[in-house]
Amino acid sequence: MSEIEELSQFLTLETRLDVKALALQQTLGLTGTADGRQMLINTSCVVKNLCKLLNDFQKSVAKDASLALINLTADEDLTSTLVAEGTEIIENMLNIITNPEHELADPACMVLSNLSRTKLGSERLFQSMGEKLEKYIDIFCQEKYNQKGARLHYLAAVFSNLSQIPAVRSYILDPSRTCLQRLVSFTDYKDSTTRRGGILGLIKNCCFETDHHDFLLSDAVDLLPKLLLPLAGPEEFDEEDNDKLPIDLQYLGEDKTREQDPDIRKMLLEALTQLCATKYGREYLRSKNTYVILRELHKWEKNDNVLAVLEHLVNIVIRFEHEIGYDNLKKEVEVPEDITEKFNALEPAL
């Protein structure tokens, strides 16, 4: 019997508390190194036992077990092994998340966020969720669902990861459901960068479904103002420009601030850029005076990476359709290179 196998024998609910706590501390220490994580993964019962310890009556034991699982699943070299062996760890995390009385719902979300970064992990997770995905969206949208104080912000990262799968995007974009309509309200959510960023990752991936651009920009979803509002500042416009803007962007006031995270600003602009892949999207953005918001953002923006995306977007928005020449920039092949290069570089991602 190896040392790890011997150690794992003490990672059980029945083990005496002091012995169990010591074994768990040693296990947690091993998760701090790549070699240690590999040894733990190679011992089949370790992950299973750690999942069981999430329900230990001693809070410190349950918390340490959750930290060990977060560390193990954060190693991308190991996630394929974890999910390839079955969905038991996924099922355990989902059960915790749906339990409004469980104190470790947030760590459970983090574990699923780690596991779903790979395509295989996302596929296994969606397989476990199935048609219940909407149930988890419901839980996410209820900010006080968990009665022990868990905020479930990392579910946004899970949804973003899942949206790399075409079947998930189809599910989210199904007009007979209201999944997307509820999720877009979090693009300007002030209390969590994780929640904002995760939902924007999902939205950006959904924007690659060009056949759904009319739905995304319809009154049912009303996506454009949700993407533009975080990019808008306190600048005042004349009456003519204001009247052309979406209602939510008119007369914002001097206390209006822009999204502070440059990575999120970049995602917002990438989503808008992808909406410009279709003639319908480009014309809709122009009709809603998107340019004036982008113009003022360009004066304010200092981050070079954000500026690069912003300038690509402005270059598309200000052009006439006869200069572009094609309805769908993603599908046509003879579009001028300076227009198409941005779209060819983008693809649905985590």
**What does the pLDDT look like over 182-234, one tens digit per residue?**
999 999 999 999 999 999 999 999 999 999 999 999 999 999 999 999 999 99
pLDDT at 334 over 70: no
Q: CA nearest 41: which of 119, 104, 115? A: 115
In the chain, the percentage of residues whose pLDDT exceeds 90 is 81
Domain architecture of the chain: domains with CATH: 1-75 (no CATH), 88-208 (1.25.10.10), 225-349 (no CATH)
pLDDT of residue 333: 30
Residues in Cβ contact with 156 at an 8 Å cutoff, skipping those fewer than 6 apart: 140, 186, 192, 194, 195, 196, 197, 198, 199, 201, 202
| Sole residue written with tokens 């600048």 | 235
Question: For residue 285, is pLDDT > 50?
Answer: yes
Q: Is the pLDDT of residue 350 over 60?
A: no
Residue 328 dihedral angles phi and psi, to the nearest 5°: -115, 105
Question: How far is C-alpha 34 from the geometric centre of its chain's CA atoms?
Answer: 26
Confidence check: pLDDT of 337 > 80: no
What number is the average pLDDT over the span 296-312? 96
**Does the structure show a pLDDT above 70 at 252?**
yes
Given a cut of 90, whether residue 335 has pLDDT beyond it is no
Residue 331 confidence (pLDDT): 42
Dist. CA 42–CA 39, nearest whole Å? 5
What tens digit of pLDDT does each residue of 258-271 get? Answer: 999 999 999 999 99
| Residue 278: φ, ψ to 5° | -110, 150
pLDDT at 340 over 50: no
Residue 347 scores a pLDDT above 60: no
d(CA 169, CA 136): 15
In whole angstroms, what is the distance from residue 206 CA to residue 228 CA?
17
Whether pLDDT at 344 is above 50: no
Residue 77 banded pLDDT, cuts 50, 70, 90: confident
Quote the percentage of the chain above a pLDDT of 70. Answer: 91
Angle separating helix axes 17-30 and 34-42, nearest 10 degrees: 120
Q: 177 and 170 in contact (C-beta within 8 Å)?
A: no
What is the number of H-type helices and E-type strands within the chain?
Answer: 23, 0
Closest to 72 measured CA to CA, from 104, 101, 100, 32: 32
